[in-house]
Structure 1
Amino acid sequence: MHRTRVMIRTLGVATAVALAATACGPQKAESTGSASASPSSPAAGASPTATSDDKPAEPSDSASPKPSASASQSPSAKPSSSVSPTPAVKPIMANGDDTEQVRELQARLRQLKLMSVAPTGFYGSKTTAAVKTFQSKNGLTATGSVDAATWKKIEAASKKPTPQELNPPTVNEPDAPDPNCMQGRVMCISKESRTLAWMIDGKVVSTMDVRFGSENTPTREGVFDVGWKAKDWTSTIYHTPMPYSMFFSGGQAVHYSADFAARGYSGASHGCVNVRDKGKLSALFDQVQVGDKVVVYW
């Protein structure tokens, strides 16, 4: 199959194909992934979608010691006065969750002027801070997590979000830059705000919405360099177009995604950083040089 490649770095054809062997394509958010997405594969890394594994576990009944036979037969033995601790209230939503209910929560918090960023569905530090503020103002314990009592009050204080409020057409507000983004030429990519900020010496030149890989095929986090670029590229694994690809970690690249443009955050990549504004990415592609920094962070 013929493909036109614009290779800025001097690489052999075999090397370029090898680097792109893990190149990603779109997938549904509910995809279960495949064996190639295991943590040991090239596409592995920290997951962009957190789970609720850090929620408090229910206390075990087996934790209370049982009296021995000798103790129960002794006339001096007294029944234990220990009381099992009251289990913590299990939150409905908490830091690290990534759900449509979180999107609704964020939209309601925007109605209450407690959040300025567009809903993303990811429960991060900004959502936690907004929830704490609401709880403090409404006589609730300021945990930053949403339990049943907090959710009931938020629902009472706001209205059901419209589709436009849940998925506003405006670009997401960029997150505070990672310290590694403050010097040089950097594509500064925040997983929490789901934005890419093109920065030069600490100044934001342009921003755009992005999406990432699913839990099974996560986008790697860290500090990288643009290794090579290809204006017209097709994934060698998923056989999907990847226009304006800027590869920064093996087969993971920043590139335009028609699927992202059509479905938004209902889908996910196989590890790449998808951009849905083709015009903005085209302009960025012309500015970015091989060797420029790429920072992916929460």
Structure 2
Amino acid sequence: MKRSSVIRRAALAAAAIALIAGCGPQGGGAGSGGSGGGAGATPPPVTTTAAPPASPSAGSDDKPSSPTPSASSEAPKPKALMDEGDETEQVRELQARLRQIGYFDRAPTGFYGSMTAGAVKSFQKKRELPATGAVDEATWQKLVAMTHRPTADELKPSTTNKLDAPDPRCLTGRVLCISKESRTLAWMIDGKVVSSMDVRFGSENTPTREGLFKVEWKARDWTSTIYHTPMPYAMFFSRGQAVHYSADFAARGYAGASHGCVNVRDKAKLSELFDQVKVGDKVVVHW
């Protein structure tokens, strides 16, 4: 027997043993003989294994999670129609309306200070609105619905503005205690109010200076050397700024402003005060 025939028979025998051991591909198709394919069986197609999809995180219930809202998606703060520092006729109306329902206990001034902000905040808390102290559209509409349009007397009453708590510097000695918040002048001696009156101040461009001063000199009849306007019962306290009577204040009220002086509109009251105040008495201008 030739050597090549021996080698071929040995190879066929080895292949037969491999098929019986199950090393070949599993079959099961028609005509396969039921136990596996022969040497000429078609090999199975080669498949590539794709990367498994990312598994959902724990607790996701196999559903995509909702995006986390960003800070920019938060509701914007309501725009303020009126806020501290404003000085307008609408602020005066606001104060008059608040006064109608017991939230503002002084005459309207048109200036939005801390007292007005406190009154607005109390109103907002009572109506379960955001208690910001500033008037937004919702606050204004609620207030308008609860009140009537203020009359001329309600907007600019002739009565004296209510005094606020005096500055601590006003509680000793003889003092002209002047509040920008309540727009009042209180003549005080050793902490007791002797008399009081409405006042107005300088404009934004010519503000009335704040601080502790003293009466430097007095003039019953004086005319401004700069603006050439009368300044009766002038009591000077700070480099040309003085407490004095103003006919313009008496006529126009808070629609106008001074050039830095403290204007008084009640001439009779100021005349009495002028006679009582002495040079050297304290002057306190505060908020």
TM-score (norm 2): 0.74
Q: Could you say which residue in structure 2 is the equivalent of 1:98? A: 87
Query: Distance in 2 between the 1:264 and 1:179 partners?
Result: 29
Q: Could you say which residue in structure 2 is the equivalent of 1:212? A: 201
Q: Render the CA deviation track for 1:44-89: whole Å, top value 9, x for unaligned.
A: xxxxxxxxxxxxxxxxxxxxxxxxxxxxxxxxxxxx9855265422
Q: Could you say which residue in structure 2 is the equivalent of 1:275? A: 264
- Are 1:252 and 2:241 an aligned pair? yes
- Are 1:121 and 2:92 an aligned pair? no
Asked which structure has the greater CA Rg, the reply is: 2
Query: Distance in 1 between the 2:171 and 2:137 partners?
Result: 41
SS at match of 1:248: strand
Query: Alignment length, in residue pairs?
Result: 220
Query: Distance in 1 between the 2:230 and 2:69 partners?
Result: 68
Amino acid at match of 1:293: K
Which stretches of structure 1, 4 residues or longer, exceed 6 Å deviation after superposition?
Answer: none
Percent identity, aligned pairs only, is 74
Query: Distance in 2 between the 1:173 and 1:83 partners?
Result: 45
Structure 1: stretches of 5+ with no match in the other structure: 1-79
Higher RCO by CA contacts (8 Å cutoff, separation 6 or greater): 1
Q: State the shift of 1:135 in Å.
A: 0.8
Query: Distance in 1 between the 2:226 and 2:220 partners?
Result: 18
Query: Distance in 1 between the 2:90 and 2:238 partners?
Result: 33
- Are 1:172 and 2:154 an aligned pair? no
Q: Could you say which residue in structure 1 is the equivalent of 2:254? A: 265
- Are 1:231 and 2:198 an aligned pair? no
SS at match of 1:268: coil
Q: Render the CA deviation track for 1:156-214: whole Å, top value 9, x for unaligned.
A: 11111111111111111111100110000000000011100000000000000100000
Within 5 Å, which residues of 2 pair with 1:1-80?
A: none
Q: State the shift of 1:127 in Å.
A: 1.1
Query: Distance in 1 between the 2:128 and 2:106 partners?
Result: 25
Query: Distance in 2 between the 1:83 and 1:174 partners?
Result: 45
Amino acid at match of 2:222: W
Which residue of 126, 129, 133 corresponds with 1:140?
Answer: 129
Q: Could you say which residue in structure 2 is the equivalent of 1:156? A: 145
SS at match of 1:223: strand
Amino acid at match of 2:165: A
Query: Distance in 1 between the 2:75 and 2:280 partners?
Result: 55
Query: Distance in 2 between the 1:275 and 1:95 partners?
Result: 25
TM-score (norm 1): 0.72
